[in-house]
Structure 1
């Protein structure tokens, strides 16, 4: 890894502070990180509500943050998705949140944590396969994410969804993700758009990974995953909708960047999912 990249990854995105007017007319100071966006889930929920082609939509907890790559960093999508999962852990105060720094963790810190997980015997074959990842640009995937969370005592479940003779991989993926979100909803609830408290899902296919934040059923019977893709930065149009109640003229256009449907997914024969199986300690105490 070149020294300039190591320095950039160790520092993280540039931080700025802006004064904004809230929906109730008050002034507030908002800290922003150039490659991170908070409060996007409520915006997606409103767009799904306004899109007449959506029959039903389910979304994960609004506490997850969209984190994308920085300019010139290259392909660190696996790390960026781990950061998105960690953003939920930290903000929800779930088991294991104390293991992560107040800001971050950075990609370099995640590399150290994964190497430590291998030292402890969690999915340690990854070290043999990669030759080690510290201070490198080597790709990581679901096994490394699973090793990191397991080494910190954060329960998680990883599974593979291959294509079978009777079921396409994308259909198996739809069923699994739909069941996940529906598990948090009362059967009698027929609300069009449902926001849950569920964690997001780490999602891997050949060559790329994303973070699943929702699932939707269209009025024509088709389905979409709703994802945060670390390859893409939040658009200015989406940022303008955060904390605002302006009705966009074309919600479908804004949702396009977050939808992954059959035309995209059917190209792949196998998928991997990693789900965090945790609740808040406070919730357990009650």
Structure 2
């Protein structure tokens, strides 16, 4: 890794923005093409990559998952401290886990990751590859220092993979699994947009990973994953609304949401998907993003 990039990563945690999930919840409610939707806990921080940093999406998604653990006060949050781990800390944790016998094949496949820009998470796979065991890199990234969290039977987060020669089948299986997940955490049965306190979901397809923060069913019957993509920052039309009341015309609300939607137009290029979530659903307190 070049020295200029090391310097950037040591100085910068990424582009961090809190309070985005409640904004998206309001936009979905105001959007006339949304039949119903679910959103995850408002405690998740959207963390985007810094300019020129390169292939660190997997790390940024791990940081987003950890931001929920810390901010929600979920059981085990005390193991993390007040800040989510840096990219270099995550690399150290993965390497230390390999040293102690966790997922050692990862070291063989990558040749080691400390001080590099190598991808982590599920390797890029072709549509003809076998379904991979997904999630080990994510779980291992917190091993040792945070082993108690992930070895507790109640907190294990088994991976799920969706693959089919018919890409439509794989995509529909993914949609169904995500909707079932959010249905478990309903707080309001009769609302158009269902708020939950559920953690976000790590999402991987060939070549890229994101964090799923919600699910939308549109009036035309189509589904969308709602995501925080670490490759992109929040548009100013969203970030400037944090903590403010607002009302958009339905067409404008839909347009703003496009930055966070991943539906058929995007997903149809892929025939294999992997997701990882926390199995335990009693997820601590509901965070107050504006508390002192």
SS at match of 1:241: coil
- 8 A contact 2:161–2:272 mirrored in 1: yes
**What aligned pairs does 1:195-234 form with structure 2 within 5 A after superposition?**
195-234=195-234
Q: Which residue of 2 aligns with 1:31?
A: none
State the TM-score, normalized to the length of structure 1. Answer: 0.86
Cα shift at 1:143: 2.8
State the TM-score, normalized to the length of structure 2. Answer: 0.84
Cα pair distance change 1:108/1:241, threshold 3 Å: same
Q: Which residue of 2 aligns with 1:145?
A: 138
Which one has a larger percent strand, Structure 1 or Structure 2?
Answer: 1
Cα shift at 1:244: 0.7
Q: Which residue of 2 aligns with 1:22?
A: none
1:69-123 residue CA offsets vs partner (Å, 9 max, x unmatched): 0011011000000000000011112233233242331101111111122223222
Aligned Cα root-mean-square deviation (Å): 2.0
- 8 A contact 2:9–2:87 mirrored in 1: yes
**What aligned pairs does 1:81-160 form with structure 2 within 5 A after superposition?**
81-141=61-121, 142-149=135-142, 151=144, 152=147, 153-154=149-150, 155-160=156-161
Q: Which residue of 2 aligns with 1:16?
A: none
SS at match of 1:237: helix
Q: Which residue of 1 aligns with 2:128?
A: none
1:77 maps onto 2:54 in alignment: no
1:214-248 residue CA offsets vs partner (Å, 9 max, x unmatched): 00100011000000000001111111111111213
- 8 A contact 2:185–2:281 mirrored in 1: no
Which of 249, 259, 266 is 2:268 aligned to?
A: 266
- The structure, 1 or 2, with the larger RCO (C-alpha pairs under 8 Å, 6+ apart) is 2
1:41 maps onto 2:21 in alignment: yes
Cα shift at 1:278: 3.2
1:164-209 residue CA offsets vs partner (Å, 9 max, x unmatched): 56962111100110110011227x9232001101000000000000
Using the TM superposition, name which of 152-161 and 239-248 deviates more. Answer: 152-161
SS at match of 1:213: strand
Cα distance in structure 1, aligned partners of 2:53 and 2:66:
20
Cα shift at 1:138: 0.3
Question: Structure 2: which 5+ residue stretches go unaligned?
Answer: 122-134, 151-155, 286-292
SS at match of 1:126: helix
Cα pair distance change 1:227/1:281, threshold 3 Å: closer
Cα pair distance change 1:264/1:282, threshold 3 Å: closer
- 8 A contact 2:16–2:47 mirrored in 1: yes
Which of 27, 34, 44 is 1:64 aligned to?
A: 44
Q: Which residue of 1 aligns with 2:246?
A: 246
Using the TM superposition, name which of 260-269 and 48-57 deviates more. Answer: 260-269
Q: Which residue of 1 aligns with 2:290?
A: none
Cα distance in structure 2, aligned partners of 1:201 and 1:161:
15
Which of 240, 246, 257 is 1:255 aligned to?
A: 257
- 8 A contact 1:169–1:266 mirrored in 2: no
Cα distance in structure 2, aligned partners of 1:189 and 1:281:
19
1:52 maps onto 2:52 in alignment: no
